[in-house]
Amino acid sequence: MAFIGDSLARNQMDSLLCLLSTIETPKQIEMPEEPKPDVERASTTWNFFKHNFTVMTLWSQFLVAAVEIVVNGTATGNFHLQLDRVDTNWSEKLPSIDYAVFSDVHWFFRQNILYEGGKEPNVTDIGLYMAVKKAIRTAIKAINDCKNCRKILTLLRTYSPSHFENGEWNSGGACNRTRPIVKEEVINIGDLGIRNAQVEEIEVARNAGGNKFEVIDITEMMLIRPDGHPGVYQGKAWIKGYSDCVHWCLPGPIDTWNELLLELITRNI
């Protein structure tokens, strides 16, 4: 099983490792390359030998090919994205994968330059939703075009909302709530639009036949859980002093994602 995507893919894998470790203690068989500025951005592999089960993360924040934009020798944090070319960091591993769990979107909020079919920027401002849809489309094509693959069950985990209040992550934003909220209190209702764009692409893939595609539909339920983030207790030295209102506490609401994952796998056995 591969969790493919951004640091939230790693977050979900960590949750699964914790849940499964009550049955068997896994062994890490592939370590992140060193030095790494952030272990969440590394690909890593764990094995449950008694159960012949391997779980891994494959870092790919866009699912498609991306190169960071550098200006005067300084990395900008923005990227050149080739929307019609898959990121080989994960696609080359497909022959060894039975279950692929996709996670992306958060990095699409950056000021990226988009390409299709060439080396010159040739995609106008198509908006967040369409950029995400095109990336998913390319990822699905890579799954369906894989000649040496077994039948892969592909699961797309819908957008995981962040809950910064009174600012962004680098401008004083925080997530200090200590209880779930009700739907009427949800502020970032636009996140459901991202979810809808993702689901639309999976529906197209389902109707086309071939491999099986499912949706781990978590967006709406997570919108009401601003209390589930580590906040100022995130423990990462590289963002010391800032609140993490993107990732999720363990144990915590994210464990529900893997309960849904298990249910979807069971339905498709």
Mean pLDDT along residues 106-129: 83
Asked if 133 contacts 200 with a C-beta cutoff of 8 angstroms, the reply is: yes
Report the candidate in 35, 39, 38, 56 with the shortest Cα–Cα distance to residue 47. Answer: 56
Q: Active site residue: 38, 217, 247, 255, which one?
A: 247
Beta strands per DSSP E along 40-162: 44-48, 53-59, 64-71, 74-86, 99-103, 113-115, 153-157
What is the Cα–Cα distance from 246 to 243, expressed in whole angstroms? 9
Mean pLDDT of the chain: 91
**Is residue 43 flagged as an active site residue?**
no
Cα dihedral 50, 261, 146, 59, rounded to 10, equals -80
Q: Active site residue: 87, 104, 191, 244, which one?
A: 244
**Is residue 247 flagged as an active site residue?**
yes
pLDDT, tens digit, for every residue of 59-78? 999 999 999 999 999 999 99
Q: Active site residue: 7, 15, 103, 160, which one?
A: 7
Q: What is the pLDDT of residue 121?
A: 62
Which tokens in the block code for residue 86?
């898959």
Give Rg (Cα) of the chain. Answer: 18
pLDDT over threshold 50, residue 35: no
**Is residue 7 flagged as an active site residue?**
yes
Instruction: List all residues 6 or more positions away from 231 whose beta carbon is below 8 Å from its beta carbon.
Output: 174, 175, 176, 243, 244, 245
pLDDT over threshold 80, residue 236: no
pLDDT over threshold 90, residue 99: yes
Residue 242 binned pLDDT confidence (cut-offs 50, 70, 90): confident
Residue 42 binned pLDDT confidence (cut-offs 50, 70, 90): confident
% of the chain with per-residue pLDDT over 90: 77
Residue 33 binned pLDDT confidence (cut-offs 50, 70, 90): low
Which tokens in the block code for residue 196?
């809808």
pLDDT over threshold 90, residue 188: no
Among 5-9, 78-82, 239-243, the least confident range: 239-243
pLDDT over threshold 90, residue 234: no
Instruction: List all residues 6 or more positions away from 92 whose beta carbon is below 8 Å from its beta carbon.
Output: none
Mean pLDDT along residues 221-232: 95
